[in-house]
Every structure is written in C-alpha cells, then in structure tokens.
Structure 1
Amino acid sequence: MTFVDSQVALRCGYGIAETGLEVLTVSGPDASSWLTTLSSQIVTDMGVAESREMLFLDANGRVKFAAGIVWMGEVAWLFTPDASALTQFLESMKFMSRVEVTARPDQQVWGFFAPSLAEEVLAGFGPIWSDPWPGITPGGTAYSPRATSHPGQDYSARLGVVPDVNIAKAYAELRSRWEQVSWPRETEDGYSLSAPVFATESDWRALRIAAWRPYGTDIDQRTLPHELDWLRTAVHLNKGCYCGQETVARIVNLGHPPRRAVFLQLDGTSSLLPPAGAELYAGSRKVGTVHTSANHFEDGPIALGLVKRTAPTGELTVCWQEGQEEHSLAAAATIIGDLSGVSWQGQSQIDRKAFADASPRPGSKSLNIAG
C-alpha cells in the first residue's frame, strides 16, 4: 500500500499511525498548580479527560519543550517528542512541590483522526489527547493570516496510549471493529480505500505539516512561540507569571518576532527530502532553515521551516549536504504570519495588567528578544 492510500485512510478515520511521540505522567497533590506555574498554560481548572497544550519556556521566552496534556483525575499525562528530556527538566524544577514525575517508556503513542472507531478502542487502554489545533483556545491568539479558512481547519488529530503488554490485544480489537465495516470504501473526495491501515510516522508527519501544525521537534535554540503561530493553542495570555512571560507579552503587544514560520512546497522532480537543518536561500542570501519535511498524498514533498521576518515570499532554494554530496531543491514558500508579526486577536484578549506586571521596571535590564 502506498503512502497515498495510507494517508487518505488515516485522514478519513480508517487507520492509526506511529507518531514518534512519548508520554510521561505527573501526579501528586501539587501537580496541577505546579504545572500551571511552570508552563504557558492554565492546568488548575482542567476537567477529567480534558485536553490542552502547553509550552515550557526559558527566561528569554524561547521554547524548551512542548507537550499536550490530558488530565485524568489525579494524574496528568503529557505527550511530547522526548519524554526523558522533559522528565529530567521537570525533576529539576520540583524543589518542595509534592509531585511525582515519571517517564513511561512502557507505553506506545498511536495517532488517528476523528471520527474513528480507533477512539473507542484506544480509550479502553489509556487517555486520549484531542489536538486543539488550529482553533484559538481560551487566552490564545493567532499570527497566521486572517484568511477565511486555515489549512488545518479539518485537522482532527488524536493521540492514544497503549501499554506494551496490550499491543496485540489492541491490534486484535481494532481489526475486529474494522472488519465490521464494508470494504472497499469511497471517500467524499473520490479516493477508494481497500482496507484500514497502520500508517508510518512519516505519514503522520505529512498530514500535520499540511495543516501547519508545529511539534516540539520543530524548535531550535531560538524559537519563540509567536514564530510558529503557537499562541493559538499552547499559550494562555491571561494567566499568572511563568518563565518567559515577559517576552510573550511584549511581542504580542509590540509585534516583530525575529522570524516567521514558512510552509514549503518542494520540487517534486527529486525523490530527496531535506533533513532538519537544511538551509533556505533567497537568491544567494540565507534566510532560514527547514525543520521537518515529508511526502504528502496530494501536495507532494512539503516542509515547515523558519525564515527571517523580512524574508521574501515566493521562490526559495533549499540546500543541504549529505556526506560529500551537496543537494538543492526549489521551494515555493508560503509565509505564516504577517510582516509586522502582530497577532490579530491578541490586542483584545491580553490582560493589560499582566503585561504591565511582566514589563521591565525603570532601571532594569531590557530583554533582548531578537536573539
């Protein structure tokens, strides 16, 4: 089965996929208040089985870690690309807090798209995280253009957790449910599906790239949440103080983050895909880097990256080296976010007192957000 079949079936709810994500748990009497204090998100008011997204920033507002969170009564489940690294960071921030942080390498994370029979099956094995992208969640704001529609408007991604010891059982239950569906199936957009699929991580990645959906794997040492339009889902602008809040508030009010996310449609005449870190050029001038790429069933080779705020739209060139061999591809660039870098909903949503409290006091050292 080709990636076309796999991605179509996955998108239509007739498949599950590897995601490359991992999980950890946070429990204890202080878990919700502690996570709220450390992160960009409010956790203290979450209901059972509710999903949100959070970022952990450094003092300059740059993204260190990103995680989806599901609150399961007394335990928070966090979905992230590197559970070990996030666990280590959280352990370093415990101090006197009554919390327990545990990486869960005994759990596999599968992805699917709703509506799907997979949700009913996987809910029996563990929590389900419902991706809020690209909605603007409470306290959030948008940086992408004020278009009538977002390319991710139908992006109904879900993540489910299955313990290693129950993998065979989960497979069997999924097969049993899908066998009750009439095959082949015709999709609304004219594709024919012969069977449900277990898709690869690259299939999952292609669908989220097409939706402009950032992951924690897309960051570098300078990434600000504004640059990836991450304030839609992962930052609550009206919450109390947290590490990096000053930068978040200042850029929302003043605009001009140093870089902007870019969606790239790559030259399809080559079978090569640029790796993370491949350089983007406008003519002879380096303007940014690629952070993730994949082959999409309709758009062909696509990628997400970050470019300088003043980088031109239109044609760019992607360049990278593998061993002694140099490669380059033409890329049609769509810039995510307007040139000024001003959010188009933040001005009415941000808590002015929170911004004032986060702003530098007279005589204090100004924060360099340009990096």
Structure 2
Amino acid sequence: MSVLAAPSPVLAVPGAVAAPPGSPDESVPWHYGDPLGEQRAAIERVAVVDRSHRFVLTVTGAERLSWLHTITSQHIAGLGQGRSAENLDLDLNGRVLHHFVLTELDATVWIDTEGDRGPGLLDFLTKMVFWADAQPREAADHAVMSLLGPGVATLTGVLGLDRLPETYEAVAVPGGGFLRRMPWPTADSFDLVLPREQLMSRWSELTAAGAEPAGSWAYEALRVAAVRPRIGLDTDDRTIPHEVNWIGGPDEYGAVHLDKGCYRGQETVARVHNLGKPPRRLVLLHLDGSADERPAPGTAVDAGNRAVGVLGTTIDHYELGPVALALIKRSVPADTQLTVGSTAAAIDPDSVISDDTPQAGRRAVERLRGR
C-alpha cells in the first residue's frame, strides 16, 4: 500500500470517525461526532480538515511553467512567485481527465489533486516532457490540510506568518511547506501543504490554538453548497469544462483560460464557447429529507418518466439539509419537479448560471447569412 493510500494518523485522534468503506475519503476522518456542528465551525469560527489523501507532486526545471502551459487548459506561462491557479487536463475531445491546483513557489510548481487520479496525472505529465527542461515527480512526503473560517486569522502566529495570503496566493511557512488561499469552499479557505512528517505535530498545534477538528463530511458539504464539482463524483467520462463551471482564468476562479495557445482538447472548448452550448449543467439539488436513505451518486435524475441527469455528491448540510450536485440536461427548466430514485428533488434556482448570451461566433455566422 502506498503512503497516500494508508490511513491518516489523524484517524487515531480521539473521537475521529472513519468514512464508510468505499468512500474516496475513507483514509481521513469523516467527522468527530458532530458533522453539522463542524460545518458551522468552518463558517463562523475556524476548523481544520485533514485532506492528507490528496496526491502531491512537483515540477522543477527552467521550463516548468511554459511547458505546463502548452499541455493544460490554464494560462500559467507567466505565473508569478507565490501565485496559484486551478487547471485541467483534457482528452482530445475536450473531456475532463484531471482537475488539479498548482502553485509556483521558489522555482518549483507544486500540484495537488485527487488521490486516486494522481498517479494517472503524473504518468501523463511524465510522458509529455519530451525535450522540455521540466521534471515532474511524486511528492509523497508532503500532505494537504485545510483551514476554514474567519478565525484562520488568529492562527498566523502558530504558523509563523505575519499575514494571510490573498486569493490564489501562497506564502512559505517556516519549517517547510506553504499556506495557500483558495476561493472555495468558503470565503475563508486555506490549504496548508506541509511535510507529511509534520502532519500530527501541526494538527496538535493548530487545535491547541483554537482550530476545531472537522471531517471530510464538513468540507464536502460546504463544497456542494458552493456548487464546486469534484472530479469523479460530480463528473463522468463525458464531462466538458463548460458543464461544470470550470471556464475562466485565475482571476475568474476558473480552470480553463479562453485566450491562450493550443492544448489538447482546445478545439472542443473553443467550439462550445463560440458556437454551441453545453448539453448539461451542474446544479444544486435540494432532496426530500423524509426519505430513509440518501440516493447514491450515479443514480439517474428523472423528470416524470424521463431521465434528465445523473446525481453526484449527496450530503447533509447544516443549514440546507440534504443536498446534492447533479449534471442535468441544459433544456430542463429550473422549476421542474424531479425525482432521484424514490426521493423528490428540486433544483436550487440560484445555482443555475444563465448562458443565453449570444456567442461571438454564432453572431458572426448569422451576419454572414444576412440575418
């Protein structure tokens, strides 16, 4: 068993409860006895979440950024010191294979992604090096921990910092690693990428300083409420970036820049952006809480007797109750009555992003046709 697949030492903390078998988060704590209260702590105070099952890798070499720029969807050729971005690896048809976060710090690009997809991403990057001065390597000796809530500002002294980073900025932490601010799942979200050997000592320091332990349940509930997809749970082998709100540069908190050079899958991205519409869209569903069991990810979402989508992450939120993400056909109105198995569901209208603006390419075609 690899280091990344092994159970986290934080699971030995008193009160830590493991996720159900088969969960992608079963190697880290699911909750500590009060999953809804842990969510509230992450919104109102400060919570620390063990995400050490993330796969971490590094890319070094003089051409690391220019090389990554040519083979991925984000505009990162000029990414500055201490800056971060979200990025995608697409297949030839523009379908999403990998989603990852990267940070440029001290002549190294740090990348973290889903644990089960990390080896595949590393394999792709390694095969694409060719003659470039870039060296991708697994960094199994590093792990990810997240800090959530307005109270993170009280932890700067414990971390040895004099300030918190801005969104998508990373600052080095004395003793190793860095703290990076993210725009989700909450307004105050930070990832601490640290040497794995420091995982328990940092955990102890942060909780002693007031950070409340929160499990993956809390993190996932807040992510779902923010309508942020998780690859493999909220996407399938047909997903294109437009369907799950991943279009946009770093300033737009996206993972696909629409004004950059050629990369694998770009033709589909450009065609949908300029001429078409995505066939599906990611929405937040409110589920009937009276059902005995929550429907499982992958269950069909039906409108009457017609399947119109597929369910993604399903979870109980501390304020919204049972909610889920789902990929729904774009033609389905937001007020459509839906069912997921035997459970009634409704689309949250605030999660539906309007995409009815005429595209530049479509307008140009209409002008050529004299319309």
Give the alignment's TM-score, normalised by structure 1: 0.75
Deviations 1:292-333 (A, max 9, x none): 1211100111111101121243321112xxxxxxxx311111
Asked if the contact 1:252/1:342 (under 8 Å) is kept, the reply is no
Give the letter aligned to residue 273 of structure 2.
Answer: V
Asked if the contact 2:57/2:137 (under 8 Å) is kept, the reply is yes
CA distance in structure 1 between the partners assigned to 2:58 and 2:156 by the alignment? 21
The SS at the match of 1:216 is coil
Partner of residue 224, structure 2: 209
Partner of residue 264, structure 1: 285
The SS at the match of 2:143 is strand
The SS at the match of 1:251 is helix
Do residues 255 (structure 1) and 276 (structure 2) align? yes
Greater CA deviation, 330-339 or 157-166? 330-339
Partner of residue 239, structure 2: 223
Partner of residue 40, structure 1: 73
Give the letter aligned to residue 106 of structure 1.
Answer: D
CA distance in structure 2 between the partners assigned to 1:118 and 1:271 by the alignment? 41
Instruction: Please point out which of 190, 195, 201 is paired with 1:163.
Output: 195
Partner of residue 296, structure 2: 275
Deviation at 1:73, TM superposition (A): 2.2
* 1:253/1:16 CA distance change after superposition, 3 Å: same
Do residues 329 (structure 1) and 343 (structure 2) align? yes
Partner of residue 338, structure 2: 316
Partner of residue 14, structure 1: 46
Deviation at 1:25, TM superposition (A): 1.1
Partner of residue 259, structure 2: 238
Instruction: Please point out which of 182, 193, 214 is paired with 1:199.
Output: 214
* 1:343/1:156 CA distance change after superposition, 3 Å: farther
Matched-pair identity in % = 37
Structure 2: gaps spanning 5 or more residues: 1-32, 160-172, 249-253, 365-371
What is the aligned residue count?
Answer: 303
CA distance in structure 2 between the partners assigned to 1:34 and 1:120 by the alignment? 37
| TM-align CA RMSD | 2.4
Instruction: Please point out which of 308, 313, 328 is paired with 1:307.
Output: 328
Structure 1: gaps spanning 5 or more residues: 134-151, 179-195, 320-327, 357-371
Give the alignment's TM-score, normalised by structure 2: 0.75
Equivalence map 1:34-183=2 (5 Å)? 34-81=67-114, 82-115=117-150, 116=152, 117-118=154-155, 121=158, 123-124=173-174, 125-133=176-184, 155-178=187-210
CA distance in structure 2 between the partners assigned to 1:210 and 1:285 by the alignment? 26
CA distance in structure 1 between the partners assigned to 2:259 and 2:190 by the alignment? 27
